[in-house]
Chain A
Amino acid sequence: MSNDYIKDKPIDVSTDTDRILLDGVERELYDFVDEEREEDFYRINEGLTEEIVRKISEEKHDPDWMLEFRLKSLKIYNELEMPDWGPPIDGLNMDNIATYVRSKSNMVNSWDEVPEDIKNAFDKLGIPQAERESLAGVGAQYDSELVYHNVRKDVEESGVVYTDMESALTGEYSEMVHEHFMKLVPPTDHKFAALHGAVWSGGSFVYVPPGVHLEIPLQSYFRLNARGAGQFEHTLIIVDEGADLHFIEGCSAPKYNTANLHAGCVELYIRKNARLRYSTIENWSKNMYNLNTKRAICEEGGIIEWVSGSFGSHESYLYPTSVLKGDRSHSEFTGVTFAGKGQNLDTGAKVIHIGKNTSSFIDTKSICKSGGISTYRSSVVITKSAEGAKASVNCGSLMLDNISRSDTIPAVDVRTDKADVGHEAKIGRISDEAVFYLMSRGISEAEARAMIVSGFANPVSKELPLEYAAEMNNLIKLEMEGG
């Protein structure tokens, strides 16, 4: 049978006859709406003014330096221009975004004490179950603040600190926070870093003492439930000398017809010979502007491994950055992005080689379908001091129809002759032969395509713990179905 057989039969995965079996997985799992009762939540007015920033600072009982920092960031925000190079963000109007919304109940460390409606939301997402089965500690943020935080006793006893940012800011680790907060991502970095500096709330602080290896991961889960709100959590992780940590973050939100904004900030400090794996499964609803900033700095022999799955959001700007400052430090970025209908996802990675004999490896997969726009954007900079640096960039794109768009924009800047850089990019389609082969084994055409796409994303899913890999594969199936 010729390949024309398949070409002659266009696939409409949205029809009932070709529907992919999803074993009960539904988009509503993530997009469900639990309308918040006004009396249970404190919500600051929409907009961005000095008064609002002062009010957030007051609500959070900031130390003086933080209020000053917030106001300075607001000034920088007002001075900086909107980016002119990425997806259009005209639909985002800060006058319509509430920058701080929190439950009136306090953060607790017993699941039973979490307010019923919030508990229901996280129960639906499987957070307590995941904690029981595969996590060393978990933090759950609902809107602007953490509502639940718990760490296993043995982990706590090993000296690992895993707490909410607000406690860290005023408690025992306040000096450490002051020393590191937004030093890696200064508010001058870009407009949304400045916005974050002005209105941040929530997030986690993690410190892993020298030599401690956490065998099982810590997780933070972010749920932005409020309509027309922003989430600006700050994650600060310090992995001390020779220590090892796997940190997982997950994100979701209900789908409203108004824009929501996520402008979080992640700062990761990896000390000498330490290792951190930072995994993200991002599944914001498709009204979300995800303008997140993540950055890691590695000292001598330090290793940062990013594993990233981007499935949600209306528009994304997301480029985790690795600063390889120490000699022999290493970074790996493994990512998959799936852009479906109405999505414009601009994702990728940045690496800056400074230390000698540093190495980096970027491996990404982009998939787009049903009019989705997926852009892979990266930069690898090898400075003059980075003698002996090696970098490899590998990006693959898969187009699933011809109403979508996939762009690959990788930049390389090398400033020493003692470096080696390799780059390869490929774009293509699902091969008819592969679909035909699977169909000849009794698999429907739509299922065959879903299987091939899952296989294409396999480099990412194989880097995740089993439960998360399964969730990612389910998300791919959902997107293939057009859910």
Chain B
Amino acid sequence: MEMTKRINHLPVLTWNKLKLNDAELLINTEFGKVNTFADAALPAGVTAEKNVSFDELVRHFDALAVSSPKEKIVAGKLPIYNEQRFATGMGKEIDDLIVEADCKTDIYTVDGTHTDPIVLRYDYKNGASGLSSTLIHAKAGSESTWVMYYTSEGKQTDNGLVGASTRVFLEEGAKVHLVKVQMLSEGYTFFDDIGVISGKASELSLAKLSLGAKRAYEGFNDYQIGDKSRLTVDYGTICRDGSFTDINYNDIFIGKKAEGVMRFFEPLYGNAEKTFRGTLDFRQNSKASVGDEQEDVLLFGEDVINKTIPLILCEEEDVEGRHAATIGRLSDEMLFYMQTRGLSEHEAKKLMVRASLNKVARLVPDEGIRHKIDEYLKDVI
């Protein structure tokens, strides 16, 4: 299979010369069967329907009355997400890929409260490639924690392609804590396409660590349809020398009194290249909604390329939106403080990066995975 997919579309186009309007994902591999397994049997109240075709998945969307709401006022916008029945951050071409590769979906339905995390492991051996597709349907009032853990056993130079499509549908009052950890070998290409629809008073927290892979593409889209829904995103990555990372996160406020907080931490080393698109999109009548987005980028290489485009789109008067980004070096004050504590500049930088990534790692509820992250960070940083 060889093709190029256009993904991670910016919701509003800007100057083409900046090359930020979208990204290209090159696919030149055959996808094998994914070795997916849960750590333990699913708890009572959580059911799984495996190997669902994309057509059946769409019928499932029908049953859930899923729709991607259109904007009322569109100013030169490309309505790219409206092409998808259940919008995701990377866009329709990933759905096309799922169909073309005949990738089946696992649908999990959650009822009741589950305190123990449900750990799903996706293990790719010796450069194997694979696609996975998951829908988590959180029923009204349910609460669950999911850990999706992507690894590859083998050499660091293994260079397969791993893709994941994850959709979360939250009914009224549902809570989902979604944790994603990617620690693939350094030669891999990885994409992770997430779509969320948040119902009334629902809560989604996403903690994500994207640590491995040479090329990583990350997309996220949340339609906060219900009133008083909440979203929290904590995202950390390491852009190593020679790596390429392309991120597109959208939080779309539709219900009233919705809240969204997204925090990103991205250190870049050597000649790493990274693009970050982050959007807070306040639709008409999303009254009293509040959105906040923070991006911290530390640059540690003479040849790094860092592109950032944080958008605030707004067609409602009664909202508050804020975006802040800091890009550059560690502040002199912080370095000085560290040095007065006996740390060299190098050690101080390492400490800061580890501390920032550990903030996200602490949200991983599985001790074994946390330990592996810790070991990995010790090695990599």
Contacts and interface: CB of A to CB of B under 8 A. Distances in A.
Interface of A: 84-88, 344, 346, 373, 375, 377, 379, 384, 397, 399-429
A428 B319 contact: yes
Given A88-B76, A399-B314, A411-B309, A422 B320 contact: no
Contact of B15 (A379, A423, A427): A379
A412 B14 contact: no
A423 B308 contact: yes
A423 B311 contact: no
A231 to B, nearest CB: 24
A407 B299 contact: no
Contacts of B104: none
Interface stretch (B60-68, B148-156, B326-334): B326-334
Interface in B295-349: 299-329
B13 interface: yes
A7 B349 CA distance: 50
A427 B324 CA distance: 12
Contacts of B40: none
Contacts of A402: 284-285, 287, 315-318
Contacts of A422: 324-327
A417 B299 contact: yes
A322 to B, nearest CB: 16
B3 to A, nearest CB: 24
Instruction: Find the residue from A346, A375, A409, A423 having the highest chain B CB count within 10 A.
Output: A409
B1 interface: no
A413 B324 contact: no
A317 to B, nearest CB: 11
A408 B320 contact: no
A420 B284 contact: no
Contacts of A417: 268, 299-302, 304, 328-329
A382 to B, nearest CB: 9
26 contacts: A84-B16, A373-B73, A399-B314, A399-B319, A402-B315, A402-B317, A406-B315, A407-B12, A407-B312, A409-B309, A411-B20, A411-B307, A412-B327, A413-B306, A414-B306, A416-B304, A420-B328, A421-B328, A422-B325, A423-B308, A424-B322, A425-B321, A426-B321, A427-B319, A427-B321, A429-B317
Nearest to A88: B76
B311 A400 contact: no
B18 interface: yes
Given A397-B314, A405-B73, 14 more contacts: A85-B21, A87-B75, A373-B75, A397-B312, A399-B319, A408-B313, A411-B308, A411-B309, A412-B327, A416-B302, A417-B329, A423-B323, A425-B310, A426-B322
Contact of A379 (B18, B301, B319): B18
Contacts of B284: 402
Nearest to A371: B73
A429 B15 contact: no
B299 A406 contact: no
Contacts of B323: 408, 423-426
Interface string B247-282: 000000000000000000000100000000000001
Interface of B: 12-16, 18, 20-21, 73, 75-76, 268, 282, 284-285, 287, 299-329
B341 to A, nearest CB: 23
A85 B76 contact: yes
B329 to A, nearest CB: 6
A148 B323 CA distance: 47
Contacts of B268: 417
A420 B329 contact: yes
A401 B317 contact: yes
B371 to A, nearest CB: 31
Contacts of B321: 425-428
Contacts of A404: 73, 315, 317
B76 A87 contact: yes
Contacts of A423: 308, 310, 323-327
A85 B305 contact: no
Contacts of B318: 402, 429
A412 B307 contact: yes
Nearest to A87: B76
Contacts of A346: 76
Contacts of B75: 87, 344, 373, 375, 405, 407
Nearest to A350: B15
Nearest to A408: B312
B327 A421 contact: yes
A123 B372 CA distance: 77
Contacts of A410: 309-310
A371 to B, nearest CB: 8
B13 A427 contact: no
Given A411-B20, A422-B326, A427-B321, A399 B316 contact: yes
A3 to B, nearest CB: 11
B52 to A, nearest CB: 38
Contacts of A85: 13-16, 21, 76
Contacts of A379: 14-15, 18
Nearest to B299: A417
B308 A399 contact: no
A343 B319 CA distance: 22
B10 to A, nearest CB: 8
A416 B300 CA distance: 9
Contacts of B12: 407, 409
B362 to A, nearest CB: 27
B318 to A, nearest CB: 6
Given A415-B305, A421-B326, A399 B317 contact: yes
B309 A400 contact: no
A84 B13 contact: yes
A407 to B, nearest CB: 5
A87 B323 CA distance: 24
A412 B284 CA distance: 28
Contacts of A411: 14-15, 18, 20, 307-309
B49 to A, nearest CB: 41
A419 B328 CA distance: 5
A377 B304 contact: no
Instruction: Find the residue from A373, A375, A379, A402 having the highest chain B CB count within 10 A.
Output: A402
A323 B306 CA distance: 20
A387 to B, nearest CB: 9
Contacts of A429: 317-319
A405 B314 contact: yes
A421 B327 CA distance: 5
B196 to A, nearest CB: 23
A181 B216 CA distance: 45
